[in-house]
A = this chain, B = another copy of it.
Amino acid sequence: MAKKTIIVFSNDLDKVMASFIITNGALAMGDEVTLFFTFWGLNVLRKEEYIPVKKGFLEMMFGWMMPRGANRLGLSQMNFGGLGAKMMKHMMQTKNVNSLPELIATAQTLGVKIVACTMSMDVMGITKEELIDGVEFAGVASYLGEADQANVNLFI
């Protein structure tokens, strides 16, 4: 048994899907996997519904403009205002490939450790109440501690 870590920096649908496909593969093979969501990646962990939280003006604006949750992510290219992401999801469904929310649910069932970067949360004004259940909160020291024990460490 070995450990893997992935820093999920991106909130592009395609890159986040890749993160979870690697994660679920590793979990299925008996590895431990820790995912550190930071910066844009935090949006993957946001609850879909609007959570009323007191915020500053810029935080509110960023909160509005960034996607709320795994269902609303766009592609890293050929997104065309969301049309590309819609087409991609349709193609995945046709091929019986799990959707991102399903991949996340599977990862959680298989025991993934999901960590949200508290420093990014602070900068972007994202609060714990806005994130899905089952998320831990930590900073860069925690990431480095885990990466030191892992044999594969990716930045996506």
Contact = CB atoms under 8 A, between A and B. Distances in A.
A124 B28 CA distance: 24
A25 B143 contact: yes
A140 B21 contact: yes
B151 A152 contact: no
A54 to B, nearest CB: 15
24 contacts: A7-B18, A9-B15, A9-B18, A14-B39, A14-B40, A18-B155, A21-B119, A22-B140, A25-B144, A28-B141, A29-B141, A40-B76, A56-B94, A58-B90, A58-B91, A62-B91, A65-B78, A97-B119, A97-B123, A144-B152, A147-B152, A148-B152, A154-B155, A155-B155
